[in-house]
Amino acid sequence: MNIRTSKKRGEYKLIPKQKKIEVWDHIISLPKKDRPKIVTDDNIELIKKDIWQQNIFWMDIIQGHGLLERTPQKLKKLEKSIYNHCIKKFWETIVKMITIATRNDKQSDSIKL
């Protein structure tokens, strides 16, 4: 059974906080040289609170890639292409959120002037 189609369309589970932490810690601990350039530790801190509240993001990353049933390490070992897709989607969303957050910071700084 394909992980991405194993759930009926529209059927979602709440993502346990511990599972979010497991996936977050795994991806954030990957080598920094493999991150997109905009993803610095400071920029991660800038959006961290918001990303933790994005349920659709976590459903996509965790449920959509079969991580409810396994660890990121096990996914990497068993289905490398799905694992790589998961990492790519994670960073794409982080980049979008950082871009929005830094744009908003720049706009609010110019309003203060």
Q: For residue 46, what are the contacts with CB-CB under 8 A and spacing of at least 6?
A: 98, 101, 102, 105
For the segment 41-82, what is each residue's pLDDT rounded down to a tens digit? 999 999 999 999 999 999 999 999 999 999 999 999 999 999
Residue ranges per structural domain of the chain:
35-112
pTM for this model (two decimals): 0.80
Task: State the Cα–Cα distance between residues 99 and 95, nearest whole angstrom.
Answer: 6
Task: State the Cα–Cα distance between residues 53 and 31, nearest whole angstrom.
Answer: 25
Flag whether pLDDT at 4 surpasses 70.
no
For the segment 14-39, what is each residue's pLDDT rounded down to a tens digit? 899 999 999 999 999 999 999 999 99
Assess contact for 30 and 87: CB atoms under 8 A.
yes
What single letter denotes the amino acid at residue 103? R
